[in-house]
Structure 1
Amino acid sequence: MPRTAPLAAALAACLAAAATAVLAFGTSATAATLFSDDFNDGNSSGWSQSGGTWSVVTDGTPALRQSKVDSDLARLFAGTTTWTDYTVEARVKPLGFDGADRFLGLVARSSGSTSFDRLVLRNTGRAELQAVRSGAVTVLGSLPLTVTTGTWYTLRLEASGGTIRGFVNGVAAGSGSSQSATGRIGVQTFRATGSFDDVIVTTGGTTPSPSASTSVSPPASPSASPSSLPSQSPPAAGLYVAVNGNDANPGTIAAPLATVHRAVTLAQPGTTIQVRGGTYLLATNIQLLKSGTAASPITITAYNGEKVVLDGENLPYTPGAVDSSIPRADRGAIHIEGEYWRLIGLEIVHGAYGIFGVDTSYNVFDRLTTRDNYESGLHLQGASGNNQILNLDSYGNRDPRKNGESADGLAIKEGSGTGNVVRGARLWNNSDDGFDAWEFLSPVVIESSVAYGNGYNRWNIPDYTGDGNGFKLGGGDVDLPAAHVVRNSMAWSNSAGGFIDNANPGAMVIERSTSWRNGGNGFDFADADATLTRNVSAGNGTAVSLGSNSSGSGNSWDLGGTWNDASFTSTNAATITGARTASGSIPGSNFLWPANGADAGARL
């Protein structure tokens, strides 16, 4: 059954005050999870149905499915009508539509079966935020979006006071007047089928006090703490680890294990390893060599949002000698070669690589922090595909053994494998690049991510050679193209380029992204067969470098005029580089939004 926070009714009475406090600059509050459901229990108990045919099915993991395509309005509701200010988030996958202008989506503040706020994915090429009052629909905002069946989208509704805001994959879809001050959550379809999963309702969180300065060189570092995670009851196959545990224990919450290593040894497909808060000093690295399955992945997660730090300072090659190589098995405080793993809410530090994966696929890396490692924070290579990297913070990684030229925040390189997706990443102050796809020959999709402050020698490394690009999109010693995709992302204050092809001749797509105050080119696609649409370049060493095969429209260099600091509504990065939201997303702000209202650049 869904996991509802204790005393939800009592909490509901104070939600408005709590949310008001957390939304005010310079204040902080503790996030509370009111409700969550990942449907791993195999049912939709706790939800009330109106129309449609609903069931829990296996869709990678258990998920809620509406399978009656001709249903005019299929709805499920949960929660209470007394909930006021809250955020609801869910993953939504459209599966089929029975005609044009059909939709499915997420509901907040439902005060009745026909009155609610709603964020929907329409099969006419857009997402739409709506206020619905007694069946009458008012469109509050929309976002151009090609809605693809079989693709997961993360939808989020933020209800605060009289305002409702909607986001799709972290991109703002609009805001406006909420139709009600209170109400339940829900999911809906209109003549469509789809899956819904990982529903979470939160109130509160931590909001940083913004700096009065507009300087971003170097920008302030966000908190390294993992985002708050939903409370979860242990599954039957659960194991617990705690700093005061013992590996001779059975691994229950009352008698936990002492090491993640022992839990991994005992784990089988479907096992969830819950790690209690504390710092775990690793004597050997954690090797994930076995595999889960599509229906039963193996999960390692921070218990109930507690701060878990896996510290690899005592491992070999931390750091390695100059010009030395690291044996494959020693790469990574967490070394993964298995498949169908889910790593959630962990902080990995001081390793020879934070996480290193080779020939590994179908994994989810969710709300992780990889910082201050002696190589890249998170690195995947070889035959690795269908990995999801969600809401990663990776910073301060450096490599004295290679004079700073190898340690990226995130690297997917030297290999191939389709289906790799990066969403909501923040990659900053790394010695080499924010993101690097050197010699990775399959398309990688990057959405709603930022890279800043990379390529500066903050560690006094001798003979420093760090590159310093925000997003380095392939290239290398091989001449094969890779059609990487970047959407709604930002690069700023990197020592070299913002977004570069690095001599990759592939048919790349760069959409609605912003490059600001980078030392080199804002956008460098001199060798690619790239399509660039509605991007913004301002204050860089050079605005753009395009070769004869690259094209596009609606970019700042197409629109003309002078693009500089004054071109933006805000140049204060304090909010989006501050504490993440309770759901792990990058907090929204008007940072680097065009002041002239141009429909270009990223919106985070």
Structure 2
Amino acid sequence: MKNKLFFVTLIFFFFSFLLSAQNTIVENFETGLPTSAPSSETSVSLSTGMWKIKGVYAKSDNGSIRLAMNADGYAITPPIDKPVSVSFKHRGSGSGKVLTVQKSIDNGSSWTTIGTATVSSSSTYNTANISINEQGTKGVLLKFICGSSTIYIDDVTIVCSSIVDEPTIQASISASEITATSMKINFNKGNGGGRLLVYSKGEEVNWLPEDGTAYTNLPKVLTDNVIGVYSGNADFVTVTGLEAGETYYFYVFEYNGANDAINYLTQPVGKLTQRTVEAPSITTSVNAINFGSVKIGISSKRSFTLLAKYLTPENGTITLTSSNDFLISINSSSGFGTSLTLNYSSATLLSTTIYVQFLPSELKSYSQILSISGGNAEVQVQLIGIGSNTDAKVYFISPSGNDNAEGTFDAPWYNLQKAIDAALPGDTILVRGGTYYPTMMKDGTKTTIRINSSGTADKRITIKNYPSEFPILNFKDQPKKQGIRGVQLNGDYWHIIGLHITQAGDNAIKLEGNHNIIEKCTFSYNDDTGIQLGFGHNFSDTHPGISSNDGSYCAYNDIIDCDSYLNCDADNFGSDADGFACKMHNGKGNRFIRCRSWDNADDGWDLYETDYPVILIECWAWGSGRAENFDWVQASGSFQGNGNGIKMGGNGTGGSSKGKHEAWNCIAFNCNKTGSVKGFDQNSHGDGEKLVNCLAFGCGYDFMFEKSGTNCEYYNNVCFGNIEIASGGTDSNNAMLSTSTKAWKNNVIRGFSSSDYVSLSEDDAKAPRGADGSMPKRFARLKSGSVLVDKGLSYNVPYTDEFAFLFQPIYGLARDLGPYELQEGEISGMQIIINPKAEFNLSILSNPCKSEAMIKFSSDFSGIASLKIVALDGHVIEECYNKNVETGVEYFVSISVNNLQKGMYLCVLSIGDQTKTAKLIVAK
């Protein structure tokens, strides 16, 4: 049993349960259906409400009550609020029968077909998944129509959006304290929880916010000439950086909810048109310039623009004053000094580009104010930089860039290939947000981005998304069925972070180099596997004269915190495109860590024809092989995707797979294309495998390891469904419901169910990751009191010395079964709870405290939060939090007070210009 239970944990699990109950509707037809089919429409009371049926009745099939449908029979759900998708199990009395699903948003007056399912006569029920896409609509009806008898359906599961109702009263706005460059916008609030303010200059705002999208890190450009200013619940906001004598159009949108549950009121819109004062003013395009790290003795340049209006006298000068560390000029290559004088006439200085050169001389941080004044106006720009001892360069690319530019922040390139060709060991390529359509042809004929150069062990070359921006490499113009990949990575010691690669003509990334890290990347809608490590069936084809891999080719690569979904190959219609693959003669030391694969055509992971062991840690795979997801693929013939979850081996034309593969804390589920599809699949691999703390459910076979071998190990795993484990291996402390004799035998745990978990839904598996890349926090987490708690052997996941985030401390007497330890009693670090009504607040739970203080805080506006423990004399003892916070979220931070003397302290929360203080009392 566990030792203690924190109150905050109870809140978290209870709130999570409420969310799950609200967001999912499940009908299993166990009671309420008639035993014979009515010939006219009839209302029946089922567990989910009143359904309307015709030609439909209850029938026992394969041990359960199912909804059976005659030809032209139908079943209509009760009204459903905000449905997103529907899934259901189905089979027929004969193959090829078609079930049609329709929706109505006008109470049945009209119907729209949203999908079909072709049923099979197999005794095993298949699963259909269909999108509804009415997450903002209430009272939606679904209708299931039988094309020809008899079709059976069961376990209709409707996922509904957690998006809250939009407000009904829009905010209005007014302006006060108007100057030449700023004004105060006052909110007359509507009935929402907050409001979003945007503006444009010189023309009406031509933009609307998207429900489910929270606009953070404001102010920033949202689209052409539209600036997002503020989101929150304040009474007013001061808008700065405006131009004198210009007309600005402000729009305000009332909203409810937070994060991906936010819902905006867009009709009508609150509007304000206001002109700034015609007074002397100087406006700059930036308030600050941060040069980052620059090597001592090497200069780095940035630029900004300034303009001035309504200056007095009519003709005069504007003076810019800086320092020897930050020199300024109006020329990008010459004329730099500590001061600069600009002449203006007719009371105006037209937009002028100013170049700033940072030349550090010491290993230290630099900060300087660039003062700009003249014509009875003044403004300041903050200049920041760090002197370093590295000569590494930083290159920039942008969707608005030009390959004839300099590759700098102010003059970025467009093609990633351009930056790759320039990069040397230690360099960094920053990729600005937006969509790129690569055009550069490295080999003269294909737009494949080719990485052939290498970094070194101590100087990797890094490709990284610009902070808080989301770049997409879209290869839609690549021809399909010709093996043209998005990225071909042959080099060593590259680190690629935060790219989304889509619609490549083959793999998104084909990786053949060594010591590379692919992190926080996404692969979708590619014409083959998202990312594939390895070569071809014949190793010598890519390495002439070398018959086999000695382990040093395609070796020691780490794929971390990546997602791969909806990849499907057209040439073999699904039989090749996996989420992730390490196959066909890989080298040593390749690892997949905290990756997710879902709805891919073939398998989630494929370790086919391997030459050396492959390691998977905390990886999830689900939904493979669903033909209905790939109607966009231009392919001929029938769909060929296998649909397995994690395939841990396989023998082919290139030889038998080798190496003892390992899966730690991994999950495979809902891979149920047919009754033979597997979650974890040995696939005749003969060199052994090791599975520890893995979970599988909802597959034809959750675990299929049919080939005997003494080199097979299974510990602390959980299996809900069918299983086959050949004799000869080692197993202990696994959980299963199957009574098969071809299964685990030693210290088997039973008596568990899905109610042991907070959630096992696909929507929770697909939820956003944490900011650190961690997996969603609800899926596959045990509930308090589960029979699976404290039943495992005390194994620790490997490689925690390299990846500390993988470590899971053991709570209680022993390791829990399955991938995640139930953290009862000792909460460390931070937890969050979604609360759309959260206000700017701070409190100490269990105050006074003796050894640990639990601090709860929240905000009704986003920003950087600083949480400090301060002595009564004002000196700061500890800053225990300094990160961005979002609206609609309560944060719980646990801190140790063992090093504090008995007495009273202050806990101070600062976000922006607002502060909250709470007393912290330490009792020894």
> C-alpha displacement at 1:550, in angstroms?
2.2
In 1, the alpha carbon distance for the partners of 2:758 and 2:554 equals 40
* Cα distance in 2 for residues equivalent to 1:207 and 1:280: 26
Instruction: Name 1:556's counterpart in structure 2.
Output: 735
Given the alignment of the two structures, is residue 286 of structure 1 paired with residue 452 of structure 2, yes or no?
A: no
| Residue 282 (structure 1) shift | 2.0
Aligned with 1:488 (options 658, 662, 665): 665
Residue 582 of structure 1 is aligned with which of 758, 771, 775? 771
Once the two structures are superposed, the pairs formed by residues 251-270 of structure 1 within 5 Å of their partners are 251-270=407-426
Q: Do the aligned partners of residues 24 and 368 (structure 1) sit closer, same or farther apart at CA in structure 2, a change above 3 Å counting?
A: farther
For residue 292 of structure 2, what is the amino acid of its counterpart? S
The counterpart of 1:271, out of the listed 406, 427, 434, is 427
User: Which amino acid is the alignment partner of residue 820 of structure 2?
Assistant: R
- Aligned residue for 1:273, secondary structure, equals strand
Contact 1:208 1:578 in 2 (8 A): no
**For residues 138-537 of structure 1, what are the structure 2 equivalents within 5 Å?**
208=260, 233=292, 236-283=392-439, 284-317=447-480, 320=481, 326=483, 330=484, 332-382=485-535, 383-457=553-627, 458-460=629-631, 462-477=637-652, 478-495=655-672, 496-528=677-709, 529-537=711-719
The answer to whether the 8 Å contact 2:685/2:707 transfers is: no
Deviation >4 Å, runs of 4+ = 23-27, 206-210
Give how far 1:256 is off.
Answer: 0.9
Deviation of the 1:207 alpha carbon: 5.9
Please report how far the alpha carbon of residue 339 of structure 1 lies from its aligned counterpart in structure 2 after TM superposition: 0.9
**3-state SS of paired residue (1:305):** coil
Once residues 303 and 368 of structure 1 are traced to their aligned partners in structure 2, the CA distance between those partners, rounded to angstroms, is 13
Q: Distance in 2 between matches of 1:590 and 1:408?
A: 23
Alpha carbons of 1:232 and 1:503: their partners in 2 closer, same or farther (altered >3 Å)? Answer: farther
Between 1 and 2, higher relative CO (CA 8 Å, sep ≥ 6) is seen in 1
Q: Which residue of 1 aligns with 2:818?
A: 601
Aligned partners of 1:489, 1:209: CA distance in 2, in Å? 29
- In structure 1, how many angstroms separate the alpha carbons of the residues matched to 2:425 and 2:517? 15
Relative to 1, partners in 2 of residues 1:432 and 1:234: Cα closer, same or farther, differing over 3 Å?
farther
CA contact (8 A) 2:498 2:520 kept: yes
Deviations 1:148-190 (A, max 9, x none): xxxxxxxxxxxxxxxxxxxxxxxxxxxxxxxxxxxxxxxxxxx
Counterpart position of 2:71: none
User: How many Å separate the matches in 2 of 1:209 and 1:426?
Assistant: 23
* Matched position secondary structure for 1:415: coil
Matching residue of 1:546: 725
Q: 1:592 to 1:498 in 2, by over 3 A?
A: farther
Give me the whole-angstrom Cα distance separating, in 1, the residues matched to 2:438 and 2:603: 27
Deviation at 1:296, TM superposition (A): 1.2
The C-alpha deviation readout for 1:275-308, integer Å capped at 9, x for no partner, is 1111001231211111111111111111113110
**How big is each residue's C-alpha offset from its partner over 1:13-64, in whole Å with a ceiling of 9 and x where there is no partner?**
xxxxxxx99x98799xxxxxxxxxxxxxxxxxxxxxxxxxxxxxxxxxxxxx
Query: Do 1:377 and 1:410's aligned partners in 2 also have CA atoms closer than 8 Å?
Result: yes
Alignment root-mean-square deviation, CA: 2.7
SS for the counterpart of 2:421 is: helix
- Answer yes or no: is the 8 Å Cα contact 2:610–2:658 preserved in 1: no
Q: Cα gap change, 1:590/1:349 in structure 2, threshold over 3 Å: closer, same or farther?
A: closer
Q: Which amino acid in structure 1 is aligned with residue 533 of structure 2?
A: L
Whose radius of gyration is greater, 1 or 2?
Answer: 2
Which amino acid in 2 is paired with 1:465?
A: Q
CA distance in 1 between partners of 2:618 and 2:511 (Å):
25
Q: What is the aligned length?
A: 373
TM-score, normalized by length of structure 2? 0.39
Aligned partners of 2:291 and 2:755: how far apart in 1? Answer: 47
Q: Distance in 1 between matches of 2:575 and 2:530?
A: 14
**Residues 1:343 and 1:281: Cα distance change in structure 2 (over 3 Å):** same
For the residues of structure 2 that align with 1:524 and 1:434, how far apart are their CA atoms?
17
User: What SS is found at the alignment partner of 2:582?
Assistant: strand
Aligned equivalents of 2:760, 2:779: Cα separation in 1? 9
Change (3 A) 1:364 1:24: farther
Amino acid at match of 2:630: W
Question: For 1:414-461, what per-residue CA distance to the aligned partner results, in whole angstroms no more than 9, with x for missing partners?
Answer: 013111111110100000000111011211111011001111112146
The verdict on how the C-alpha distance between 1:339 and 1:355 changes in structure 2, with shifts beyond 3 A counting, is farther
2:502 and 2:508 in contact (8 A); partners too: no
Distance 1:24 1:207, change over 3 A: farther
Deviations 1:72-126 (A, max 9, x none): xxxxxxxxxxxxxxxxxxxxxxxxxxxxxxxxxxxxxxxxxxxxxxxxxxxxxxx
Q: Secondary structure of the residue that 1:263 maps to in structure 2?
A: helix
Return closer, same or farther for 1:360/1:503 CA change in 2, 3 Å cut-off: same
Residue deviations 1:376-409 (CA, integer Å, cap 9, x gap):
0011113311101000110000012112110000
**1:109 aligned partner:** none
Asked if 2 retains the 8 angstrom alpha-carbon contact of 1:514 and 1:592, the reply is no
1:251 maps to amino acid: G
Give the Å deviation of 1:563: 4.7
Matched-pair identity in %: 27
In 2: Cα distance, 1:424 partner to 1:601 partner: 15
Q: TM-score w.r.t. structure 1 length?
A: 0.58
**Structure 1 residues 527, 502: CA separation in 2 closer, same or farther (over 3 Å shift)?**
farther
Q: How does 1:28-47 map to 2 (within 5 A)?
A: none
User: CA, structure 1 residues 233+497, in 2 after alignment: closer, same or farther (shift >3 Å)?
Assistant: farther
Runs of at least 5 residues in structure 1 that lack an aligned partner in the other structure: 1-19, 28-205, 211-230
- Please give the alpha-carbon distance, in whole angstroms, between the structure 2 residues aligned to 1:403 and 1:386: 32
CA distance in 2, matches of 1:338, 1:355: 16
CA positional deviation for 1:315: 1.2
- Structure 1 525/385 Cα, relative in aligned 2: closer, same or farther at 3 Å? farther
- Cα separation, 2, equivalents of 1:525 and 1:272: 47
Q: Which runs of 5+ in 2 are unaligned?
A: 1-10, 20-257, 263-289, 295-391, 440-446, 536-552, 737-746, 792-815, 822-924
2:293 & 2:524 partners in 1: Cα distance? 29
Aligned residue type for 1:535 = N
For residue 817 of structure 2, what is the amino acid of its counterpart?
A: A
Deviates more, 1:262-271 or 1:554-563: 554-563
Are the equivalent residues in 1 in contact too, given 2:765–2:779 (CA < 8 A)? no
Paired position in structure 2 for 1:116 = none
